[in-house]
Structure 1
Amino acid sequence: MEATSTLFKQLLENVKKYIEKNYLPEPFRTFNQASMRRMDDMAASMAMPESSVDRVTSKLLPSFEPKSFSRALFDLIDARDLTDVAVYKKAGIDRRLFAKIRSDNYTPGKETVFRLILALELSLPEAKELLEFAGFSFSRASKLDLVVKYCVETKHYDLAVVNELLFSNDLPILEY
């Protein structure tokens, strides 16, 4: 038991260092209004007329349908030869919520996506891609995001350990 405690303390220390190194508080992320207007003006001056864009895209991508979060998730589950039950149980997700996720019209919250990332033991590129399908990304302005990202990078996928790291850093846990 002492060895486990020592390993956790080391992991916790590494997480704290990771947060210190990577955390960007709010003031460092904001642009002033003048900068935003200049960027908008620049983008508007470089934009193609909408009809040109529509013509080009319809010729290049006539049958393109973007992949949904649900399709991306179930492709990952299939690629790992896992069952839906094994994934939602490991992720601590209710069967009814998982059934909603199965539909193409449902987009889960970020914490739910985090739990699925951990349950599937995704690599960092896979985790980033799955987050993008749900409309999210890892944020350097969120300590919770940084803890989860660190755990993915270092392959610490146990939800109980991740929650303990979050709790130890006074952050909300990924609810079961």
Structure 2
Amino acid sequence: MANQKLIDEVGKYIEKYYEEPEGKVQAAECQIDACDPDEFDISTMKKKKVKKGMSSTMVSNRKIENLMKQMEETFSQRLLRMIDERGMTDSEAYTKAYVDRRHFSKIRNDINYVPNKKTVLAFTIALELSLDEAMDLLNSAGFTLSRSSKTDIIVAYFLQNKIYDMFEINDVLEAYGQQIF
């Protein structure tokens, strides 16, 4: 079981950054009744300006062929690259993430396969990613860290503090009534 001091520290972090899904706001940075979670930079937990729509750096030619050429890495490509960059074997990565070999095989063999968010979060911990790297990996799978998810806030705390012990993370998740990895 995680020590009480860590559970209390995470509790303070949750109190500071967690937003009730119904629109209630507990964050000190937000002074209005309901804040758009996209208006916050999860890495700094600060309010940020958000431009709606696609990036202004994209080519003005909106033909589908040109837009497809601007696609980023898929989740599978990014994950496999990150595993290689860390000098890990595939089996080291999926074992550390507690992902089944067959499930990892799907990820490896289907470039467009996207696992659930819990699996992506498990890989962010297994690969010991920084919060920015974790956000990139999540984004490549179509996910983000949300201020209205206690699980996301807890994982962000551990990533920010470079604590990658899955057992400790699971203990804290369980202490706050969240699903474990």
Runs of 4+ in structure 1 over 3 Å off: 55-58, 61-65
**Aligned CA distance change for structure 1 residues 63 and 143 (closer, same or farther; 3 Å):** closer
More displaced, 100-109 or 110-119? 100-109
Aligned residues: 149
Shift of 1:164: 0.4
Give me the whole-angstrom Cα distance separating, in 1, the residues matched to 2:178 and 2:88.
Answer: 30
- Which consecutive unaligned segments of at least 5 residues does structure 2 have? 25-33, 36-51, 54-59
Q: What does residue 107 of structure 1 align with?
A: 114
Percent identity of paired positions between Structure 1 and Structure 2: 40
Give me the whole-angstrom Cα distance separating, in 2, the residues matched to 1:56 and 1:16.
Answer: 46
Q: How does 1:51-62 map to 2 (within 5 A)?
A: 53-54=61-62, 58=66
**Aligned CA distance change for structure 1 residues 113 and 55 (closer, same or farther; 3 Å):** closer
**Aligned CA distance change for structure 1 residues 167 and 134 (closer, same or farther; 3 Å):** same
Q: Which amino acid aligns with 1:20?
A: E
Q: Does 1:89 pair with 2:79?
A: no
Q: What does residue 82 of structure 2 align with?
A: 76
Shift of 1:105: 2.3
CA RMSD of aligned residues (A): 2.5
Out of 12, 26, 30, the residue aligned to residue 21 of structure 2 is 26
TM-score, scaled relative to structure 2: 0.75
Q: Secondary structure at the match of 1:26?
A: coil
Of the two, which has the highest radius of gyration? 1
**Aligned CA distance change for structure 1 residues 56 and 109 (closer, same or farther; 3 Å):** closer
- Which consecutive unaligned segments of at least 5 residues does structure 1 have? 32-42, 45-51
Q: Does 1:133 pair with 2:140?
A: yes
Structure richer in helix, relative to its length: 1
Q: Which amino acid aligns with 1:87?
A: A
TM-score, scaled relative to structure 1: 0.77
Q: Tell me, yes or no, if the aligned pair for 2:145 and 2:152 is still in contact at 8 Å.
A: yes
Shift of 1:27: 2.7
